[in-house]
Structure 1
Amino acid sequence: MKYDLVIIGGGPAGLSAAYAAWEDGCHSICIVERDRELGGILNQCIHNGFGLHYFKEELTGPEYAGRFITMLQSTGVDVRLDAMVLDISADKQVHIVSSAGGYEVLEAQAVILAMGCRERTRGAIAIPGTRPAGVFTAGTAQRYLNIEGYMVGKRVVILGSGDIGLIMARRMTLEGAKVLACVEVMPYSGGLTRNIVQCLNDFDIPLYLSHTITDIQGKDRVERVVVAQVGADRRPIPGTEMTFDCDTVLLSVGLIPENELSRGAGIEMDARTNGPKVYENMETSIPGIFACGNVLHVHDLVDFVTAEAARAGKSAAAYCRGETADGAHVLPVSNGNLVGYTVPQHIHMDADWKTVDIFFRVRGELGKSKILVRDETDTQIAAFSRERMAPGEMETITLPRVLLEQAQGAIRVCVEEEQA
């Protein structure tokens, strides 16, 4: 079957991309979603805090997804649910399988990758100890509790301070569990400040920074964990061990963009983000294949996913109309001092745009700082001030064309913290 645009993933990124593409005149669209319903991870995020930027009001995750699902119902977008994408070819043939349609090949002019991300597991971080029941990723525990209706434990220790882990600390407490501690190997939290306040501080749950779990003990079920302080090299410091009697360990130790399909298609990847390298219009290294949302880089707010996916949707619609940049003049973007990565990684200088948004994360907790944009001659072409920055909160700067046209060669984004 042929479509102008095939979107892989029906979560917040896929929904926003589809609606934006439809509004921009692309009326042959198919969303392929492996779950039985649209909405993605938002369906299990029953807490509020969504939509403050995009809808200008506070919504729960299902409410936020519901808004876009309702908007999509006013369009003619085709939706394939309970359908798994097996492969994407460089010529944009999407191979899918489902119980309803069996094996199918969808031919598209353009493809948008919106597969989201997955959680790191215990195996990925190699925690020592036995292998009892009671060890869950935070997202798995969230699904069990909020969708399936199962209480996963009564005495809980959380490893990692990512946003899902922080939110689950509050959720488990509200359901009657005792959350004994949240343990973070880094000297700073990986989550939003508001979640540290609302999910830990408000419930008197201790956060142990520069600590990690060094042993999980138990035969059939988790019985206790050993936590130790770590040094600057992140190795446990002998003599600092604490033992917590618990029956559950939740892991909130990072998210990984879901990019097996991207790699299989031969898309150029970025080792810093674990996602595809993209241009300012969200196009990957393969013309006509775009990427957005957590498959590109892990976001902290769904509102930012929505805006980024809308850009991808409009760009894909323009590609289907034959509106493409010739690629003669491309400006590379890289990260400098204290910056972990930048998205996009390239900018088409011969495309029709007025400003470009650059997203990045810093490598540590910073006070009053300057964000500096320099070119290959080390000439400063832009500067921005921030009162504070943290790795758990994504930063964005907007660069106008007039400044980028002055750049000599590639540009890099760096940060300098002001001395107190």
Structure 2
Amino acid sequence: MKYDLVIIGGGPAGLSAANAAWEDGCRSICIVERDRELGGILNQCIHNGFGLHYFKEELTGPEYAGRFIEMLRGTGVDVRLDAMVLEVTEEKQVHIVSSAGGYEVLEAGAVVLAMGCRERTRGAIAIPGTRPAGVFTAGTAQRYLNMEGYMVGKRVVILGSGDIGLIMARRMTLEGAKVLACVEVMPYSGGLTRNIVQCLNDFDIPLYLSHTITDIQGKDRVERVVVAEVGPDRRPIPGTEMTFDCDTVLLSVGLIPENELSRGAGIQMDPRTNGPVVYENMETSIPGVFACGNVLHVHDLVDFVTAESARAGKSAAAYCVGSRLPADHVLDIKNGNLVGYTVPQHIHMDAQFAAIDVFFRVRGICGESRIVVTDDTGAQIASFHRERMAPGEMENIKLPRVLLDKAQGAITVSVEEGSK
């Protein structure tokens, strides 16, 4: 079967891309989603705080997804649910399998990758100890509790301070569990400041920074964990051990973009983000294949996913009607001091745009600072003041066309601490 546009993933990124492409005139669109319903991770995020930027009101995750699903109902977008994508080829052939259609190959004029991300597991971080029941990733526990109706434990220790772990600390407490501690190996939290305040401080849940779990003990079920302070090398410091009697461990130790399909297609990947390298229009190294949302880089706000994915959908729609951007005048974006990565990594300078949004995360807690953009000659082309920045909160800057036109060679985004 042939489509102008095939979107892989029916979560917030895929829904936004589909709606944007339809609004721009693309009338042959298919969303392929492996779950039984659209909405992705939002379906299990029953807490509020979504939509403040995009809808200018506070919504729960299902409400936010529902808004886009309702928009989709007014279109002719084809939706394949309970369908797994097995392969995406460089020729934009999408191999899928489902109980309804069996094995199919969808021919696409353009493809949007919106597969989201997955959680790191205990095996990925190699926590010592026995292997009892009661060890969950925070997202798995969230799904069990919010969608399946299962209480995963009564006495809980959370390893990692990512946003899902922080939110689950509050959620477990509200369901009657005792959250004994949130333990973070880094000297700063990996989550949003508002989640630290609302999910830990408001419920008197202690946060142990520069600590980690060094042992999980228990035969059939988790019985206790040993927590120790770590030094600058992140190795446990002998003599600092604390023991917590608990029956459950939740892991919130990072998210990994789901890019097996991207790598299989031969798309150029960025080792800093674990996502594809993209241009300002969200196009990857394969013309006509676009990426957006958490498959590209891990976001902290779904509103940013929506805006980014709309850009990918509009770009894919333009590609389907023959719009091509030449690659002979490309401006590269590099990361400098204290900046972990940048998205996008390249800008088509032959494209029509007034300004480019550049997203990045810092490598550590920064107080009053300047974000400085320089070119290859060392000339400063832009500067932005920030009172505070943290790795758990994604930053973005807007670079006007008139400034980018002045750049000689590539541009570098850096942070200078202690300056206005």
Q: TM-score range by the shorter chain?
A: over 0.9
Q: 1:179 maps to what in 2?
A: 179
Distance 2:334 2:324 in 1: 24
Which residue does 2:156 correspond to in 1? 156
Q: Following TM superposition, by how much is the alpha carbon of 1:394 offset from its aligned partner in structure 2, in angstroms?
A: 0.2
Identity of aligned residues (%): 87
1:335 equivalent in structure 2: 335
Where in structure 2 are the equivalents of 1:382-397 lying within 5 Å?
382-397=382-397
CA–CA distance in 1 between the matches of 2:333 and 2:254? 25
Runs of 4 or more, structure 1, over 2 Å off, are: none
Question: How far apart, in 2, do the equivalents of 1:145 and 1:24 lie?
Answer: 39
Supply the AA of the counterpart residue of 1:127: I
C-alpha distance in 2 between matches for 1:419 and 1:28: 51
- Is 2:276 the counterpart of 1:291? no
The offset of 1:327, in angstroms, is: 1.1
Residue in 1 that maps onto 2:90 = 90
Supply the AA of the counterpart residue of 1:110.
A
Whole-Å separation in 1 of the counterparts to 2:189 and 2:327: 40
Q: Does residue 222 in structure 1 map to residue 242 in structure 2?
A: no
Q: In the alignment, which residue of structure 2 is the partner of 1:131?
A: 131
Deviation readout 1:239-258 (Å, 9 max, x if unpaired): 00000000000000000000
Q: Per-residue deviation at 1:369?
A: 0.5
What do the CA deviations read for 1:318-375 (whole angstroms, capped 9, x no partner)? Answer: 1011111111100111100000000000000011111110000001111111000011
Shift of 1:419: 6.1
CA-to-partner distance for each residue in 1:52-91, whole Å, 9 max, x for gaps?
A: 0000000000000000000000000000000000000000
Equivalent in the alignment of 1:60 = 60
Distance 1:356 1:196 in 2: 31
Measured in 2, the distance between the counterparts of 1:160 and 1:419 equals 31
Indicate the SS of the match to 1:319: helix
Task: Give, in whole Å, the separation in 1 of the partners of 2:15 and 2:325.
Answer: 26
Equivalent position amino acid for 2:123 in 1: G
Question: How many angstroms apart in 2 are the aligned matches of 1:355 and 1:22?
Answer: 24
Q: Counterparts of 1:20-169 in structure 2 under 5 Å?
A: 20-169=20-169
CA distance in 1, matches of 2:413, 2:326: 25
Distance in 1 (CA, whole Å) between partners of 2:154 and 2:363 is 35
Q: Give the letter aligned to residue 275 of structure 1.
A: G
Which secondary structure state, in structure 2, belongs to the residue aligned with residue 413 of structure 1? Answer: strand
Q: Deviations over 1:291-339 (max 9, x none)?
A: 0000000000000000000000000001011111111100111100000
For residues 386-411 of structure 1, give each alpha carbon's deviation from its aligned partner in whole angstroms, at most 9, with x where no partner exists: 11100000000000111111101011
Deviations 1:229-275 (A, max 9, x none): 00000000000000000000000000000000000000000000000
User: How do 1:134-283 residues align onto structure 2 when only pairs under 5 Å count?
Assistant: 134-283=134-283
Contact 2:360–2:396 (8 Å) recurs in 1? yes
In the alignment, structure 2 segments of 5+ residues that lack a partner are: none
Amino acid in the other structure paired with 2:237: I
Q: How many residues align?
A: 420
2:370 and 2:419 in contact (8 A); partners too:
no
2:132 maps to amino acid: P
CA separation in 1, counterparts of 2:107 and 2:14? 18
CA separation of 1:378 and 1:273: change in aligned 2, threshold 3 A? same
Residue 360 of structure 2 aligns to a residue whose secondary structure is strand
* Contact residue 111 and residue 289 of structure 2 kept, 8 A: yes
Write the letter of the residue equivalent to 1:270: D
SS of the residue 2:361 aligns to: strand
Equivalent in the alignment of 1:305: 305
Q: Which runs of 5+ in 1 are unaligned?
A: none
Taking the aligned partners of 1:397 and 1:286, their CA distance within structure 2 comes to 26
TM-score, scaled to structure 2:
0.99
